[in-house]
Structure 1
């Protein structure tokens, strides 16, 4: 899992003085709201096109992931928000993006992302996280490593078979 420092991040939201620009210009590493994406998605090329520019979408945690079903081939990043650490809807959104829609771009967790959440983030399909400011990155990396050697009994988006169904190494 990659941990994001928002100040150092190459991805930028597209907005003006009055908030998000309704019809954003097409630039590399643009991070768009869902409304902005809907305004430009028909003119955005697929990721395998020669003129493709990386684009990301911020999907609210109360939005249906299905709105991105036909766009997975155009997106490089989907940002999912945890407005409260007790609100786990973004876990389901990530899992659906990976398992049902075969999204292979980056799925990033933002908002109230705590160290304790990191192992489950990885299991449900997230591959990047912007930790809450008071959280320690080293502790998050330790939390990830704890289960790396022992594994999990249940399957997940990375290892779909349960432990008893996997061949011994």
Structure 2
């Protein structure tokens, strides 16, 4: 799991004084809203590292044709109690085989990190009051599961003592 500071300098949201620009100019490591992407995807250069901010209300299966062109998807958790982005992440990685980086952002707490890893997230932007050291520790507490996940489709019963 990669931990991204809230001021990620590698990816740049395309916006202006009045919010997101409706028709951004192509640039490497652009982080676009879904509306921006829909406005420019037909003219956006192929092979340009591009990221997309995806609200948790979006049916990610509608993005299937665009996934090969996207290097990063940022799935949003507007509240830690709203888990729809877990399902989005699972669908993107397990069903749609998204090969790019899948990042959780928003109201992301340390306690969420293990499930984020199990549902396909590669990276996380923790909420400002959460500690990366605590999140790393949370990943190491439980390492074996009975249920399958994105990384391991079914449980390995050979680990269970007979």
Go from structure 1 to structure 2 and tell me whether the alpha carbon gap of 1:58 and 1:165 turns closer, same or farther (over 3 Å shift): farther
Aligned match for 2:84, one of 82, 89, 97: 89
Distance (Å, rounded) in 2 between the aligned partners of 1:164 and 1:33: 43
Partner residue, 2:27: 27
Contact 1:12 1:30 in 2 (8 A): yes
Structure 1 counterpart SS, 2:68:
coil
Q: How many angstroms apart in 2 are the aligned matches of 1:73 and 1:44?
A: 13
Question: Structure 1: how far apart are the matches of 2:86 and 2:158?
Answer: 24
The count of corresponding residues between Structure 1 and Structure 2 is 161
Question: Quick one: distance in 2 between partners of 1:116 and 1:56?
Answer: 26
Over aligned residues, Cα RMSD in angstroms?
1.7
Unpaired stretches in structure 1, ≥5 consecutive residues? 47-51
TM-score, with structure 1 as normaliser: 0.90
Matched, 1:164 2:157: yes
Unpaired segments ≥5 residues, structure 2: none
Greater than 4 Å deviation, 4+ residue runs: none
Structure 2 length as normaliser, TM-score?
0.94
For 2:52 and 2:90, how far apart are their aligned partners in 1? Answer: 16
